[in-house]
Structure 1
């Protein structure tokens, strides 16, 4: 059974709503045997990543960077998982108040270091969350999950 790992830092109700949309989309493939595993960024482990067949990452943009919680996940899993993550399908979401440029650059840099392969267009935006953003997040979650059934 393929495993989709969703690791995120969602400290506000708005970002938690975004995470819920991704999970809703991802869970549409559970009937096809995809197991969806959700972990808070500070709780996710190297073993979670080693067990994953795909990963979705989520973060806020804080002070021009990804959240410290997601950075902690990257810092604590990199060396233990590096040989196993090359080609791992992934996508991500980033929500920022005013700017996501630095967070996007960090996400690209780190996921390139892991050797992840982008499997669905990321959801990246600033300002107020809209229904369109939630729909995009749900679609992204579904796309990554359903890619595991092919």
Structure 2
């Protein structure tokens, strides 16, 4: 019996490169899990078709003024209503590069994701300050956990 490939979409925005480092680490984590494919896209390039392709989503944003980035919000704005008929009900996890505490960005992403619906499967990974090797390891682990959870049918 063939095992169905699981597809994971990583949607992120970065200006300084910090969130981009986390996205690439998460992508490496997904790639470490057999039977999983990944698309890692800047929020401006991601679309409803990408959401429909995937089985799970990793979202990444810098914390901007206590909120998610404008480009991640734009992704939500462009896909939210077109996604309504599909009742996506897909698992998601979030990573944030934060200069402050990241809680505002996490809260607002969760509020919007609930409407799709997207279902949180992990606590948000909030990386405060400069990106460290520990942050990158945690982002990689988050990507691999999402992939393993999907591959095993946990979510």
Q: Is the 2:26–2:143 contact (alpha carbons within 8 Å) kept by the matching residues of 1?
A: yes
Partner of residue 28, structure 2: 24
Partner of residue 139, structure 2: 137
**Which of the residues 8, 12, 16 maps onto 1:12?**
16
Q: How far is the alpha carbon of 1:85 from its aligned partner? A: 4.3
Unaligned runs of 5+ in 2: none
Cα distance between partner residues in 2 of 1:101 and 1:16: 19
Instruction: List per-residue Cα deviations over 1:88-108 (Å, max 9, x = no partner).
Output: 011010111123222111111
SS in 1 for 2:145: helix
2:107 paired with 1:105: yes
Instruction: Spell out the pairing of 1:84-103 with structure 2 (5 A cutoff).
Output: 84-103=86-105
Q: TM-score, normalised by structure 2?
A: 0.88
Instruction: List per-residue Cα deviations over 1:83-139 (Å, max 9, x = no partner).
Output: 334430110101111232221111110111112112233211321222221111110
Count of aligned pairs: 148
Q: How far is the alpha carbon of 1:82 from its aligned partner? A: 2.3
Moved more, 32-41 or 61-70: 32-41
Q: TM-score, normalised by structure 1?
A: 0.91
Q: Which runs of 4+ in 1 moved over 6 A?
A: none
Instruction: Spell out the pairing of 1:52-91 with structure 2 (5 A cutoff).
Output: 52-91=54-93
